[in-house]
Amino acid sequence: MANNTETAQVSLDPEPAHVISATVESQDSTGDDIARALHDALQGLPSHIVKDLVSIGVCCRCIFRLFGTRDNIYSCSSLSPSILSSVLREHEDSSRRPTAEELEVEVVLCTLCLGILQFTYCDDKEMVVKKSANDMAVVISELVKQEGYQIDSFSLEVSIPPLILENEHLFWLYMKSKYGSELWFQGRSLSQCISAKDALKFYLTQPLEALLDCKSGMSAFRIRLTYTHSKASKMVQSVAVSTQGTGNIADSIDDCVVGDIEYSGLADVTIERSFDGLRDNGSSQCFKFPLEKVNEACHLVLLCHRTPIYFGGRYMKYSRNVSQTRWIIDDERMGEASVEEIIGSNILPMCKGDNHKFHAAGREDIDVRMLGSGRPFLVEIQNARHIPSEALVKEIEIKINDLENKLVGVKNLKVVGNEGWTLIHEGEAEKQKQYAALVWISRPLEDEDLESISSLKDTKILQRTPIRVLHRRSPLEREKIIHWMKIERIGGSSQYFLLHLCTQAGTYIKEFVHGDLGRTHPSVGSILGCRAEIVQLDVTDVKMDCFQTE
């Protein structure tokens, strides 16, 4: 019960409840059915305590969960304190049955769960909504279907105000103080109670499984119910006030907004620790109980989303006027397009996602082509409604490669799991890259130059941060390795040649050629003993194992 937000299966293991159909009304119970179910559930519970809790505004479902009852009683769609009181009175008058008025669901909000387990809440229009568990399941399933999600499982997440946890602690201190000497209370602890969060998930999971026609469990598709309340948790608020100015509250309770709205799970830990001493000495005199009447329901925000899906592959960039990612400077676009936009804009519609992000194993400058086997990349699709089949992914690859402008191409595109991140990051530090550079030198190329260049193997160079990137990079000196080089003559030219080379990842190739005013040493210019300038550069291979062309 300590975590404020949880993604897990309900930790209850009840007997199978009635299986519902899409027409959820089939589960509604008659007055006699409800009375009989209540009578069975109440067996073994101290009736005077139940009456006490009813009198102080605790709802039926909270009474049963706080006693740790794991029974089909939770399946009853119409549970109200008046029905519970009526069943309790049957011990005095066995001929009495609940009246029609008593079968009406009461609108009084529970002092413990704030109406959450009565399925009462405020919607986004500030209207108070009252539903049954089945009705709420229908609302959730309709949202999933309206959004067009393609699912084969789901995970139900619930976030509740920490005020409810505080209420439960106060309740337990009250019970211990008033009934701690009674035999039935001996050996009991708050940890044996069923949390409001788990109880709510228990009520909703089975009807949702029937309506969505899939099972609940660990899933990439999440249904999230977030309840908030305008009344701040007094305990968390008092801790926040007492630590104001020390920085402790900011360090320990991330995302906590004192005065209301939302707390992280650490807020619950704060409440747990604050009550530890009181639980040990059994004192509750400093806390007000019974709790104040609840006049306002929790606000409910219902969201559905899928965790990101990833497409991995290798891209080629054939243009010297295309950036890797969208590049805007002072509201002016640099280049005619980007690899990110071309690939992402073709994948996103197929997945019906909200947006996409592009990740690659390194990058090349806008005026550098990416050729050969291509550069490994990942496209992250957020909140995808559809998961494309292998055949559809192949269609996307063909579509990108057949674009009229031929700016970008892709190879070996496929849907990958989170292991795609691992493959890219593990290979990034160790990868080697091959280049082809068109170089001009200030004197005619000689045969000795070819030998002096090709004879160098695993040459270590020192590179200070290039002048051209000093405005955005730290001024550091890095050691890099040039694994091999060779010169290819260009017919009809004595001062231009192609330089083929393989280097350690992260080497600044342009600066290695011209020396960057001595900031890179040695350089091609210093090795040949003349001025050298790079005219054009292509990446011809990125040596990494991930997303290799099949």
Asked whether the bond before 376 is cis by omega within 30 degrees of 0, the reply is no
Q: Are residues 426 and 439 in the same domain?
A: no
pTM: 0.75
Q: Are residues 425 and 441 in the same domain?
A: no
Q: Are residues 115 and 151 in the same domain?
A: yes
**Is-contact 436 547, C-beta < 8 A?**
no
Q: Are residues 401 and 495 in the same domain?
A: no
> Does residue 15 lie within any of the structural domains?
no
> Does residue 39 lie within any of the structural domains?
no
Closest to 416 (Cα-Cα) out of 311, 346, 308: 311
Place of tokens 């029974």: 71
Query: Of 305, 332, 349, which one is at a domain's C-terminal end?
Result: 305
> Does residue 460 lie within any of the structural domains?
yes
Place of tokens 């130059």: 449
**Is-contact 27 72, C-beta < 8 A?**
no
Task: Identify the CATH number of the domain in which residue 488 sits.
Answer: 3.30.70.3190
> Does residue 276 lie within any of the structural domains?
no
Q: Are residues 297 and 314 in the same domain?
A: no
Q: Are residues 387 and 455 in the same domain?
A: no
Which residues are known catalytic residues? 365
Please count the structural domains in the chain: 3
Predicted pLDDT at 405: 86
Q: Are residues 416 and 447 in the same domain?
A: no
Predicted pLDDT at 263: 44
Closest to 516 (Cα-Cα) out of 469, 459, 457: 469
Q: Are residues 415 and 481 in the same domain?
A: no
Q: Using alpha carbons only, give the angle 424, 425, 426 rounded to the nearest 5 degrees.
A: 95
> Does residue 437 lie within any of the structural domains?
yes
Predicted pLDDT at 427: 62
> Does residue 313 lie within any of the structural domains?
yes
Per-residue pLDDT tens digits of the chain, which is 550 residues long? 444 444 333 333 333 333 333 333 344 444 555 556 666 666 667 888 888 888 888 888 888 888 887 665 555 555 555 555 555 555 445 444 444 444 444 458 998 999 999 999 998 888 899 888 889 999 999 999 999 999 999 999 999 998 898 888 888 888 888 888 888 788 788 888 889 999 999 889 999 999 999 999 999 999 999 999 987 655 555 555 555 555 554 444 333 333 333 444 445 555 555 555 444 444 444 456 667 788 889 999 999 999 999 999 999 999 999 999 998 888 888 889 999 999 999 999 999 999 999 999 888 999 999 999 999 999 999 999 999 999 999 999 999 999 988 999 999 999 998 878 877 776 666 688 999 999 999 999 999 999 999 999 999 999 999 999 888 888 899 999 999 999 999 999 999 999 999 999 889 999 999 999 999 999 999 999 999 999 999 999 998 878 876 5
Q: Are residues 439 and 371 in the same domain?
A: no
Q: At what angle do helices 81-89 and 47-55 cross, to 10 degrees?
A: 150
> Does residue 102 lie within any of the structural domains?
no
Give residue-wise pLDDT tens across range 290-310. Answer: 677 888 899 999 999 999 999
> Does residue 216 lie within any of the structural domains?
yes
Task: Identify the CATH number of the domain in which residue 387 sits.
Answer: 3.30.70.2510
Give 525: exposed, middle or buried? Use CB within 10 Å, 0-12, 13-18, 19+. Answer: buried
Q: Are residues 349 and 474 in the same domain?
A: no
Tokens of 212: 């969505």
Q: Are residues 495 and 356 in the same domain?
A: no
Q: Which residues pair with 436 in a beta bridge?
A: 500, 538
Query: Of 305, 335, 352, which one is at a domain's C-terminal end?
Result: 305
What secondary structure does DSSP assign to 219-267, as a single string? -SEEEEEEEE-SS--HHHHHHHHHTTTTSHHHHHSTT--TTSS---HHH
Q: Are residues 301 and 440 in the same domain?
A: no
Query: Of 396, 430, 464, which one is at a domain's C-terminal end?
Result: 430
Domain that holds residue 319: 308-430
